[in-house]
């Protein structure tokens, strides 16, 4: 039993459900059961993920199950995969207008509605998962995220992180920056803006459409997540070359979206349960990807003969320079983006200084012989 689960049960200690768990007269138990049944709140969750998709999709399912269990059934959540209730890229609007009370996806999908949103998913050459979570929860990032989504009647929360992703699947080798010229690549968010700057064409596609687009030549390359998810999608059947590192998504945060009216209508204890369940799923996704990625990578290389290569150093340097220019331009074009980016940069300088003498210093020391 997880710590958050125990804490959440404690939060509802005064509810009718706890009377059953802790004893009491038969009359009290009967009354408590009747009250619990009568007070059930039913929510819908829409997602950007295919049904039962490993890691990303199962995180949404786990979030729904945890909320239902932690509330002792007082708040139940039914999950709808992409296309079941609304298309994948309409999750934001569906939750905003109340078609569903909550959603699960990635903030970079909504840059057309709120340009600042993409800073809360992944920033090229930006935060790792650990750094991103720290900025959101202790560096003011979450407050800015809430401010960004407030005009849309939405409350955002971090609900998963993939860790450092892979650089993507390509139908040709990448030997220099010139190989990005005219390249059509599925690459959303800020990474797509960087690709555009170096001569490529970014394409925004939901996960369910990636394989077919790559196989038919509609796109020349794609990024998705990493070995665990990429193996499940069978992307090795559509492209031969697999590159690392994922410069565009060094710590990709997934989001849970809550309709503000629906969330604030919940009693306080259920609001706390929702927040605790979301925080738990946020941590669990990173644990799962860290545990499963290397095994999946071995399968891709050893069983499917994938050509696994690092981007050339000069390519990474050029992409890093283009990323710095892109971030400044995106921020300057939108006041909210500038506000978010200023916070991002200030936190980045401090956390990087600390990690130089902690995380990086330790990893370097661990490699000593």
Binding residues for substrate: 165, 186, 223, 249
CA 351 from chain centre, in angstroms, equals 21
Helix (H) or strand (E) holding 170: strand 168-170
Distance CA 19, CA 93 (A): 40
Distance CA 332, CA 112 (A): 16
Task: Output the known binding site.
Answer: 165, 186, 223-224, 249
DSSP string, 272-303: HHHHHHHHHHHHHHHHHHHHHHHHHHHHHHHH
For 215, other C-beta atoms within 10 Å of its C-beta total 15
Distance CA 12, CA 9 (A): 5
Task: Output the known binding site for Na(+).
Answer: 224
For 62, other C-beta atoms within 10 Å of its C-beta total 19
**For residue 328, what are its two tokens?**
């400044």
CB contact at 8 A, 215 and 140: no
Work out whether the CA dihedral 169, 204, 49, 133 comes out positive or negative.
Answer: positive
C-alpha distance across the termini of the chain, in Å: 40
Residue in 74, 116, 92 with CA at minimum distance from that of residue 269: 74
Distance CA 40, CA 183 (A): 51
3-state helix/strand/coil string of 27-93: HHHHHHHHHHHHCCEEEEEEECCCCCCCCHHHHHHHHHHHHHHHCCCCEEEEEECCCCCCCHHHHHH
Work out whether the CA dihedral 59, 61, 62, 64 comes out positive or negative.
Answer: positive
Q: How open is the CA angle 22-26-28, to the nearest 5 degrees?
A: 65
């Amino acid at each position: 039993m997880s710590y958050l689960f125990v804490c959440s049960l404690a939060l509802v200690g005064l509810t009718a459900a706890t009377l059953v768990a802790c004893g009491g007269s038969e009359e009290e138990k009967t009354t408590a059961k009747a009250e619990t049944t009568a007070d059930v709140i039913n929510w819908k969750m829409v997602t950007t993920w295919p049904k039962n998709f490993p890691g990303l999709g199962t995180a949404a399912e786990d979030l729904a199950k945890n909320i239902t269990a932690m509330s002792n059934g007082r708040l139940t959540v039914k999950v709808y995969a992409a296309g079941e209730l609304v298309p994948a890229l309409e999750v934001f609007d569906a939750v905003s207008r109340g078609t569903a009370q909550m959603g699960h996806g990635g903030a970079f999908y909504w840059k057309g509605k709120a340009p600042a949103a993409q800073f809360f998913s992944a920033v090229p050459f930006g935060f790792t998962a650990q750094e991103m979570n720290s900025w959101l929860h202790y560096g003011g990032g979450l407050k800015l995220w809430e401010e960004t989504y407030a005009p849309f009647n939405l409350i955002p929360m971090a609900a998963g992180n993939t860790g450092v992703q892979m650089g993507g699947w390509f139908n040709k080798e990448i030997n220099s920056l010139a190989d990005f010229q005219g390249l059509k690549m599925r690459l959303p968010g800020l990474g797509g803006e960087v690709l555009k700057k170096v001569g490529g064409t970014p394409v925004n596609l939901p996960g369910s459409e990636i394989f077919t687009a790559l196989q038919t030549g509609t796109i020349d390359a794609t990024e998705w997540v990493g070995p665990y998810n990429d193996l499940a999608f069978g992307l090795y059947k559509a492209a031969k070359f697999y590159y690392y590192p994922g410069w565009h998504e060094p710590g990709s945060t997934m989001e849970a979206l809550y309709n503000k009216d629906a969330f604030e209508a919940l009693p306080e204890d259920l609001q706390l349960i929702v927040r605790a369940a979301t925080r738990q799923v946020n941590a669990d996704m990173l644990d799962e990807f860290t545990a499963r990625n290397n095994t999946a990578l071995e399968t891709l290389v050893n069983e499917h003969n994938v050509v696994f290569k690092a981007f050339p150093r000069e390519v990474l340097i050029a992409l890093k320079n283009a990323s710095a220019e892109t971030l400044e331009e995106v921020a300057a074009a939108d006041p909210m983006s500038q506000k978010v980016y200023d916070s991002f940069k200030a936190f980045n300088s401090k956390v990087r200084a600390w990690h130089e003498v902690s995380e990086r210093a330790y990893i370097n020391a661990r490699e000593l012989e």
